[in-house]
Amino acid sequence: MDLLARSGPLLLQGVVITLLLGVVSFVLGSALGGLLALARISRFRALRGIAIAYVSVFRGTPLLIQIMIIYFGLPQVGIQLKPIPSAILALTLFAAAYLSENFRGGIIGVDKGQWEAAYSMGMPYWRVMRRIVFPQALRIATPAVGSRFIALMKDTSLASVVTVVELTRVAESVGTSTFRYMEAFFLVGAIYWLINTLLSIGQGGLERRLGRAY
């Protein structure tokens, strides 16, 4: 308890930065992932090819390497980003690849008969997507998307390698100053567990709410 009291301000700062990285990256990644999902189901071969290549690259390479390339590699071509924007960019691009597949799975999970019924009523494509498909696709994709959000929150720990002072970096700092590494990392691990437990409870509530109409 004395370690918690002594490192409280640093831990609070770490929690704020961790939540910032996770939430902002998830929101931006969801937007990009939605666009990629639409590209994957597009009738235009070029769009499908771009989306497939994007997902292949970002799912097929480690997130740590992507963070390193953005933070250490981009300055070599004249693009310099600070640690937090670098981490958010890397996490966003990485999350978008997985979220696009979650959204695509939700979209193709909607019964084809509903598409046909909407088209038979004269609805244009985007209205069908907005009023018929998206609401159902969101319900189908919610478990996978929620799991991705929780995984992304844990992935924020990798931002510590580019000097972002999030929870993992705080644990390293506290351990270095007190030589109580085990306690520091157990404490931070418990905070991650608490954050993700709350997210899991929220996900369960959202699933029940979306499922009421069905």
Residue range 38-77, pLDDT digits in tens: 999 888 899 999 999 999 999 999 999 999 999 999 999 9
Q: Is the pLDDT of residue 8 over 80?
A: no
The reported pLDDT for the residue numbered 131 is 80
The reported pLDDT for the residue numbered 213 is 58
The count of domains in the chain is 1
Gyration radius of the chain's alpha carbons: 20
Closest among 24, 27, 29, 28 to 59, alpha carbons compared? 29
Tell whether pTM > 0.95. Answer: no
Range of the domain at 204: 2-211
Q: Is the pLDDT of residue 4 over 70?
A: no
| DSSP for the chain, written as a single string | -HHHHHTHHHHHHHHHHHHHHHHHHHHHHHHHHHHHHHHHT-S-HHHHHHHHHHHHHHHHS-HHHHHHIIIIIGGGGT----HHHHHHHHHHHHHHHHHHHHHHHHHHTS-HHHHHHHHHTT--HHHHIIIIIHHHHHHHHHHHHHHHHHHHHHHGGGGGGGT--SHHHHHHHHHHHHS-HHHHHHHHHHHHHHHHHHHHHHHHHHHHHHHTT-
The reported pLDDT for the residue numbered 118 is 78
Rounded percentage of the chain residues whose pLDDT exceeds 70: 97
Tokens of 123: 């609805």
More confident: 116 or 168: 168
CATH of the domain at 148: 1.10.3720.10
pLDDT digits (tens, 9 = 90+) for 138-156: 888 999 999 999 999 999 9
